[in-house]
Chains A and B, each alone.
Chain A
């Protein structure tokens, strides 16, 4: 009997080990980073990896030589990938299987041969017009569908906003469906430059606020001498680092601001309308190591109002939902497959996420894992208002990650709608969602009070009657005892 148990135990453990190796161990070992999120206390909690590295695309694979400091990337509506291969002075186009389509370095403009010089930004409209921030030539170029001929060239704008010696160094570019051309340029602190379809400068919009240390401000404003002031650093607003348009042409921007709002969503009048309803604002890492807070260099808009921001400091990708709650974090710095040295651009290719690394001169694609897929689907169902299905998916998410507070919050919402207030309150507590808890608890309390109304009222009346009776008895006793006055002051 004992021996059979022994054999059984060994067989079971061997089977488990093999199962682990086959189903999870191998796949996990291949991922060179750990997924995590931040909980309601601001602490980092481990989470399954939402995206796993899929493949790496380098210039050599395409047969066009190594990329050289590629600074920007864009995935067009027909899923073609455009890479601004900055130091090779060209734009490289690939199809959705990452096969080489063409490379653009020369074009004609008004009958003359012209070429690109250190392009740092690229954007492609759904019609196929390619906009290039041709930084080295201080201009923006629009190439018609074929990419051979430029039909619009925007040079440094002439306006009272700009000094005479202003040098136009466009670095990032986007074009909305109305044909507005939005440009982020170096040394422009007044916001995003907006040009119309004819390339005429219209105005700036969405300027960042100036941030400074109050002590510095007072010193400079009231105490510093003129000579000191001249040598001091000017207080200027932070420059934008990148921009991306969502499906209603609101502009997601990132900036290198370290203690403010590094991610903004600007409406057409330039007001920041990003929702920040999570435990913490979308700023990347909440707890920084010695390298300081996250510096976001690019942002990519996903489905259902989600967005992913790329951190250059630690090579991480932060994805938030439409309400500004952190969904998951992945990525790491390093030079293994799936890690980055100087990531410069992030884009979405269907379900996949593509990241361009400037220093390693390669594209890395990430495919969604089981955990990531469940989260994305639940977010989608929540976004379209299908809370019931979302709750089912959140339960599956919880079976993979019990520490996932957003899932508890989703389940609580569904329970609340179904009138299950007790469960809703309990789940809201797990989710640390005080608002939802309060709502559910209010219903729960009303229910209990209604149910026991008679008992409660009877108790109160009985207590009141008992108190009055006690008073009467004391009075009676005192009188009988003949005590007319009791000095009760100590």
Chain B
């Protein structure tokens, strides 16, 4: 059972149309595997940030913060899922939230698969060979974007054009969510400071 579950994402990334179809209609996706992939991808991006070779690594060792790194992967992932789900429910999408999360997570698998070897490889290269490293990373990202596209299309049963429009709108929607979040926090902060000032005033009376 578990072997099947673990092998399924690898099947999906090479046979995306069939794979996502099976994920949706044969319920072959698994929450635990999906979350594990998200975690692995964030670990891989951290690994690359910190351990890529000196020649390609332009990050100051002082500025490494694993929480920031987690935020860079996990936050956008869930933002994407929420934004995509909120939009597609209004746009006749057939996908459920669970399907969106699982299929998006499976689509990220190539990033983990290629970032780790690319990072190890980058420790043994000279400046002339950095092109291969960037090629590997670029390939991973392109593969990931393609899978994202196919997953959105299959899960919601959209046409190509509608998929592209939805993806664009989802990105805009992610921006709105971030904006509203910031607004909310800054208002809470303002309110807190008002009440705190009143409390201080009363205290000093």
Residues of A within 8 A of B11 (CB): 489-490
**Contact partners of B62 in chain A: CB under 8 A:** 41
Whether A429 sits at the interface, judged by CB under 8 Å, is: yes
CB A67 to nearest CB in B, in angstroms, measures 46
Write the nearest CB–CB distance from B11 to chain A, whole angstroms: 6
Residue of A nearest to B61 (CB): A41
CB pair A434–B55 under 8 Å, yes or no, is yes
Q: Which residues A442-470 have CB closer than 8 A to chain B?
A: 442, 445
- Check B60 against A438 for contact (C-beta < 8 Å): no
Nearest Cβ distance between residue B170 and chain A, in whole angstroms?
Answer: 30
Say yes or no for A441: interface residue by CB 8 A criterion. yes
Contact B54 A437 (CB under 8 A): yes
What is the minimal beta-carbon distance from B4 to any residue of chain A, in angstroms? Answer: 5
Are B127 and A429 in contact (CB-based, < 8 A)?
Answer: no
Q: Which of A438, A445, A489, A490 contacts B127 (CB 8 A)?
A: A438
CA distance A211 to B95 in the complex (A): 52
Asked whether A429 and B54 contact (CB < 8 A) given A435-B127, A490-B7, A490-B11, the answer is: yes
Assess the A41–B60 pair: CB atoms within 8 A: yes
With a cutoff of 8 Å between Cβ atoms, the chain B residues found around residue A445 in the complex are 124, 126
Please give, as numbers and ranges, the residues of chain B lying within 8 Å of A43 by CB-CB distance. Answer: 60
Is B8 close to A, CB under 8 A?
Answer: yes
Main secondary structure of the interface of A (DSSP, over half): helix
Map CB proximity to B onto A351-378 as digits: 1 under 8 Å, 0 otherwise.
Answer: 0000000000000000000000000000
- From B7, B28, B54, name the one whose CB has the most chain A CB atoms within 10 angstroms: B54
Best-buried of A434, A439, A489 by chain B (most CB within 10 Å): A434
Task: Judge whether B127 and A434 touch: CB under 8 Å.
Answer: yes
Q: Complex Cα distance A437/B125, Å?
A: 11
CB–CB B8/A490 < 8 A: yes
* Assembly CA distance A435 to B126 (angstroms): 9
> What's the minimum C-beta distance from B150 to chain A, rounded to whole angstroms?
18
CA distance A442 to B60 in the complex (A): 24
Given contacts A41-B60, A41-B62, A429-B54, contact A438 B126 (CB under 8 A): yes
Determine which of A429, A434, A490 lies in contact with B4 in the assembled complex, contact meaning CB atoms within 8 Å. Answer: A490
Cα of A439 to Cα of B129 in the assembled complex, Å: 12
Q: How far is the CA of A489 from the CA of B8 in the complex (A)?
A: 10
B 81-124 contacts with A by CB, 8 A? 124
* Shortest CB distance A282–B (Å): 21
Residue of B nearest to A435 (CB): B127
- On chain A, the residues within 8 Å of B60 by CB distance are 41, 43
**What separation, in Å, do the CA atoms of A441 and B127 have in the docked complex?**
10
Contact B55 A437 (CB under 8 A): yes
Are the CB atoms of A441 and B126 closer together than 8 Å?
A: yes
Contacts of B8 in A (CB 8 A): 490
Q: How far is the CB of B19 from chain A (nearest CB, A)?
A: 10
Please give, as numbers and ranges, the residues of chain A lying within 8 Å of B28 by CB-CB distance.
Answer: 490
CA distance A489 to B28 in the complex (A): 13
| Chain B residue with Cβ nearest A40 | B60
Give the chain A neighbours of B127 by CB distance below 8 A: 434-435, 438
Closest to B10 in A: A490
Chain B residues with CB under 8 A of A441: 55, 126
A41 to B59, CA, bound (A): 8
**Which residues on B sit within 8 Å (CB–CB) of A437?**
54-55
What's the nearest-Cβ distance from chain B to residue A278, in Å? 16
- Counting chain B CB atoms within 10 Å of each CB, which of A439, A489, A490 scores highest? A490
Chain B residues closer than 8 Å to A438, beta-carbon distance: 55, 126-128
Q: Please measure, in the bound complex, the distance between the C-alpha atom of A442 and the C-alpha atom of B55, giving whole angstroms.
A: 12
- Which residue of the partner chain B has the closest CB to A437? B54
Contacts of A434 in B (CB 8 A): 54-55, 127
For B54, the chain A residues whose CB sits under 8 A away are 429, 434, 437
C-alpha gap A41/B28 in the complex (Å): 48
Chain A neighbourhood of B128, CB < 8 A: 438
Cα distance, A445 to B62, chains bound together (Å): 29
In the complex, chain A residues whose CB is within 8 Å of the CB of B4 = 490
Q: How far is the CB of A135 from chain B (nearest CB, A)?
A: 48
B residues 143-181 touching A (CB-CB < 8 Å): none
| Residues of chain A contacted by B124 (CB below 8 angstroms) | 445
Chain B min CB distance to A449 (Å)? 11
Contact residues, B1-43 vs A (CB, 8 A): 4, 7-8, 11, 28
Q: Look across to chain B and name the residue whose beta carbon is closest to the beta carbon of A434.
A: B55
| Bound Cα distance from A489 to B15, whole angstroms | 11
Docked Cα-Cα span, A434 to B55, in Å, equals 5
Contact residues, B175-192 vs A (CB, 8 A): none
3 closest cross-chain pairs (CB), A and B: A438-B127, A41-B60, A442-B126
For this complex, 17 residue pairs linking A to B, each with C-beta atoms less than 8 Å apart, are: A41-B62, A429-B54, A434-B54, A434-B55, A434-B127, A435-B127, A437-B55, A438-B55, A438-B127, A438-B128, A439-B126, A441-B55, A442-B126, A445-B124, A445-B126, A490-B4, A490-B28
Interface residues of B (CB under 8 A from A): 4, 7-8, 11, 28, 54-55, 60, 62, 124, 126-128
4 further A-B pairs in the complex, CB-CB below 8 A; given A437-B55, A438-B126, A490-B4:
A43-B60, A434-B55, A442-B126, A445-B126
